[in-house]
């Protein structure tokens, strides 16, 4: 069941998609800027297919959370484990924070404290989603 807070998250995703389309380019720019060791990790992803899948999966997890937080937390646990093979451990949650920042910037005209609080609650739940 979607809560009022989750409806605010949904509103920001819809607003962003309507006004800016895909957050992919901005999100990966921020990821590379966050740590110079990140971009070389994708050297074999020559057609950017894996990175586009990473962005899509991140957005799908957020969309799942809006209706079913428990299901989303299990998806996050799975992706978190897979990332251990890329030696991404504590850094994993960074991409959710980056996604929030990109969406927030794109939604500046409608963004409120309530939107910010709803995203913080979700990101905190994702951070706690571990085995």
* Candidate residues 16, 28, 65, 92; the one interacting with ligand HEM per rule CB under 6 A: 92
Give the angle 79-84-82 at the CA atoms, nearest 5°.
30
Query: Interface with ligand HEM includes 77 (CB under 6 A)?
Result: no
SS3 track for 28-43: HHHHHHHCCCCHHHHC
Which residues 15-54 are close enough to bind ligand HEM by CB under 6 A? 31, 38, 41-42, 44-45, 50, 53-54
Query: Interface with ligand HEM includes 94 (CB under 6 A)?
Result: yes
Query: Interface with ligand HEM includes 86 (CB under 6 A)?
Result: yes
Distance between first and last Cα of the chain: 24
Which residues 98-127 are close enough to bind ligand HEM by CB under 6 A? none
Query: Interface with ligand HEM includes 71 (CB under 6 A)?
Result: no
Mapping DSSP to helix (H, G, I), strand (E, B) and coil, where does residue 46 land?
coil
């Amino acid at each position: 069941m979607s809560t009022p807070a989750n409806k605010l998250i949904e509103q920001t995703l819809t607003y962003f998609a309507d006004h800016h389309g895909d957050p992919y380019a901005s999100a990966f720019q921020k990821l590379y800027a966050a740590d110079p060791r990140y971009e070389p990790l994708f050297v074999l992803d020559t057609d950017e297919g894996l990175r586009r899948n990473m962005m899509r999966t991140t957005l799908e997890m957020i969309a799942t959370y809006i209706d079913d937080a428990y299901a989303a937390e299990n998806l996050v646990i799975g992706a978190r484990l897979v990332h251990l093979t890329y030696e991404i451990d504590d850094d994993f949650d960074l991409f959710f924070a980056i996604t929030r920042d990109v969406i927030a910037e794109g939604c500046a005209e409608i963004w409120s404290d309530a939107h910010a609080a709803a995203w913080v609650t979700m990101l905190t739940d994702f951070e706690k989603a571990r085995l």
